[in-house]
Structure 1
């Protein structure tokens, strides 16, 4: 395939490409900046085709560095800025990266081989011979996602995976070159990173923010600047509340909100309908480069709880059945599916008979619409973030005061769900010490928000914790 960035700058050099904190870039200027950054990365010691990690919040400089890495055909390990130093270091070791490019605020999370992004920006620019063609089977990005046991897995995402995902989404959403995608999703998540990839392929503009800001998002929507946006239930609720409180009208220029991270409540859909906002609910995962299935806005209320049908290039089935309304494991196939994991999971076969077994439980109705019953059994979805109980339990058990630990999700009005810890403790137990220990080893959103000291945990005959029974203890 043609080098996407060189091709985009050649085809539409004067078209707007990116806006961040008042700074704007056309596709020509953005790609020229990426070329310069590629030369600076070479000066900083980055080797073409090497595996490097990026640790930075959203910014135009991060976008330029991502595109520069693509021009050098590096494999980009996108690190989650919200993780603790312990979590980051474990992923860097597993990925065996050669260098880490981090901002000064994130530098303390990296033990070695770190290059400050601010210093890279001041480096000498070397001339780099840019490849005019890319191989679709080559790895573009690597993102870590926890498995059902809580162990992080490094997911390879190839150029072909991203291309297939972008084309499927375009056929589904109906993007045009004049569209502007408002991005508040972190670029280290596939939801945010895929927006950048689609922008290159579609040639549309990205209106980028470091973090979600309700007032700013609403302003960009009602003034007609933004046409599309990706949200989770929490951010959608914030937007709707401000629109209602200020009695603001959403113009027809705003076309669609793509909603992921869990089912959108009916009351939100009704409010969105009143506000003239079209919602398309999606099902996807890191292993599928974002969307696999999407529910059209016109079906949002008719098919409550559904995530729609597979996108054009994709196929889905329920393991063990072809009958409607029978639950089973959701399996996915298509050119958007990762070819393999890296690191300690590299030998794990991602495909069985050509199908990715997601670990999620769901069913199809009699019209072929997918319903996800349970996201990886014990998964906690908090504000769109995936949290796995086993990972938190492992940290808790690392403290001397905790003898046993079980974690489950508790419904939360603001975040949808938050972690709750059930622990068996020693007589010297002090909660403030255990909480401080968690904060040092876990991202803040993973730390338990509710604590319950119990005499024993519910276990089965194999002594495995039955997490679904933890919720029953609350009553």
Structure 2
């Protein structure tokens, strides 16, 4: 049963601290004082319980302070990524209008005059928008809640996933228990906290555990990341797949992880090659977290990776139950994964429609899972399977084969409509050297049935990625349909 203390940030603050630099630590008392100061300023501008507030702030420390303040005030926090273009912000605000914007991004100055500065470089804006879309959600459920915009959506705009503070705290407690986090541990968060992964692992779990957090930019260089880990005696690293890829491929022999006990990764799968290189270089195993904005954390994979064995999604977090749902459109031994969890979102908006997840009592992830020897393996997504003349093709299978070729660095396979109005596999690649299509086609023929072999290839300098490093398949899909250049 949900208790009142699960709805308050201040009652959870015990001995939580934020490390600013080698000599500056923001203590619990400092944090409470800042929250009080920010609350006074925001209330004087009309922000209070039930206010819809967008936050788009580049500095993770400042963002964390305003998230804690506004949630304590009973606001609904809509977390916008801070590095979007003006047209992208306009589109988001058309779909998800807000009363107030707190941001250090000058893009908002182009549309509205800021009311005032409210802390550091953060300014307050009042768009004066029509908020009728939010009336589809129970007002009480919106109070002290976070709205997460899902980067993986293939729709025109991201889904808006609504999670009350109590659900986010449930996620934090599951993380704390699974990692056995202890008071005083030092955590380095290199993940953006406007994303579910960074918010849960980099703010809520450390706050509940009375740990200390050091925030760094997700774009930090490998050498600087290792330096921070060692100089600050970091116990737990909250990293992104791109961080581990750069560390694994670093040519430096002086990078050593002295104090680190746990290295976590999420937002996208890490390639086997990166996992193996990292293990060999640092004698350290990366723990991979599988989750979603809608369900929160789901599973964690902690086993050492080998060259041959398939990599499972690991074991469920405490309080999480997995269910496999049969689907006649899927190949044999493939199922859609559903999740039941106390951290489940209350619902989400998609294309203007509100979906109430509490009525469903579970989240159907859209992920396709195979099961073997009581272990679960991720096999792709329902909406990414390619229908080749009635035969369902898993793009991950093709990607894995392509990435085994020594010239291929990364591969993403998308279903493309052919002249015969059927789908065929199209591969987007980054490569280490120039290579002809026919060589890759012949290579694929050694491992794949003819109908699974890509019919065409696009070579890119880099694959399009979101702020967390996740590959943006929707942009690739738009590209082959002629709607967007890369």
* Structure 1 length-normalised TM: 0.71
Aligned to 1:319: 325
Provide the C-alpha distance between the structure 1 equivalents of 2:253 and 2:301, rounded to a whole number of angstroms: 29
**Alignment CA distance shift 1:163-1:329 (3 Å):** same
Provide the C-alpha distance between the structure 2 equivalents of 1:94 and 1:207, rounded to a whole number of angstroms: 34
Residues 373-392 of structure 1 aligned to structure 2 (within 5 Å): 373-374=380-381, 376-377=383-384
Question: Contact between 2:116 and 2:123, CA under 8 Å: does it hold in 1?
Answer: no
Aligned to 1:254: 260
Question: Contact between 2:368 and 2:381, CA under 8 Å: does it hold in 1?
Answer: yes
Displacement of 1:54 in angstroms is: 0.6
The partner residue of 1:411 within 422, 426, 429 is 429
Question: Contact between 1:103 and 1:118, CA under 8 Å: does it hold in 2?
Answer: no
Provide the C-alpha distance between the structure 2 equivalents of 1:35 and 1:250, rounded to a whole number of angstroms: 38
Structure 2 gap ranges (5+): 125-139, 386-394, 400-411, 416-423, 433-463
Aligned to 1:5: 9
Aligned to 1:54: 55
Aligned to 1:433: none
**Alignment CA distance shift 1:139-1:147 (3 Å):** farther
Displacement of 1:338 in angstroms is: 0.8
Aligned to 1:427: none
**Alignment CA distance shift 1:41-1:372 (3 Å):** farther
Q: Deviations over 1:32-55 (max 9, x none)?
A: 111111111112332233110011
SS in structure 2 opposite 1:306?
A: coil
Aligned to 2:148: 143
SS in structure 2 opposite 1:287?
A: coil
Q: Deviations over 1:336-385 (max 9, x none)?
A: 1111114754532436752211222222222233424337417999xxxx
Aligned to 1:393: none
Displacement of 1:76 in angstroms is: 0.5
Question: Contact between 2:337 and 2:366, CA under 8 Å: does it hold in 1?
Answer: yes
Provide the C-alpha distance between the structure 2 equivalents of 1:408 and 1:170, rounded to a whole number of angstroms: 42
**Alignment CA distance shift 1:222-1:196 (3 Å):** same
**Alignment CA distance shift 1:369-1:5 (3 Å):** same
Task: Say whether 1:217 aligns with 2:225.
Answer: yes
Provide the C-alpha distance between the structure 1 equivalents of 2:191 and 2:292, rounded to a whole number of angstroms: 15
Residues 14-413 of structure 1 aligned to structure 2 (within 5 Å): 16-19=17-20, 23-108=24-109, 116-118=117-119, 138-145=143-150, 147-194=153-200, 195-213=202-220, 214-223=222-231, 225-242=233-250, 245-251=252-258, 253-274=259-280, 275-289=282-296, 291-298=297-304, 304-320=310-326, 326-342=333-349, 345-350=352-357, 353-374=360-381, 376-377=383-384, 410-412=428-430
Provide the C-alpha distance between the structure 2 equivalents of 1:4 and 1:351, rounded to a whole number of angstroms: 22
Residues 444-455 of structure 1 aligned to structure 2 (within 5 Å): none
Displacement of 1:156 in angstroms is: 0.2
Aligned to 1:461: none
SS in structure 2 opposite 1:221?
A: helix
SS in structure 2 opposite 1:245?
A: coil
SS in structure 2 opposite 1:17?
A: strand
Question: Contact between 2:239 and 2:264, CA under 8 Å: does it hold in 1?
Answer: yes
Q: For this pair of structures, how many residues does the alignment match?
A: 393
**Alignment CA distance shift 1:301-1:331 (3 Å):** farther
Question: Contact between 2:413 and 2:427, CA under 8 Å: does it hold in 1?
Answer: no
Q: Deviations over 1:109-149 (max 9, x none)?
A: 755787655588799xxxxxxxxxxx998552101125343
Question: Contact between 1:154 and 1:342, CA under 8 Å: does it hold in 2?
Answer: yes
Aligned to 2:129: none
Aligned to 1:471: none
Provide the C-alpha distance between the structure 1 equivalents of 2:61 and 2:105, rounded to a whole number of angstroms: 16
Structure 1 gap ranges (5+): 124-134, 382-386, 391-405, 415-437, 459-464, 466-475
**Alignment CA distance shift 1:375-1:320 (3 Å):** closer
* Structure 2 length-normalised TM: 0.69
Provide the C-alpha distance between the structure 2 equivalents of 1:296 and 1:315, rounded to a whole number of angstroms: 18
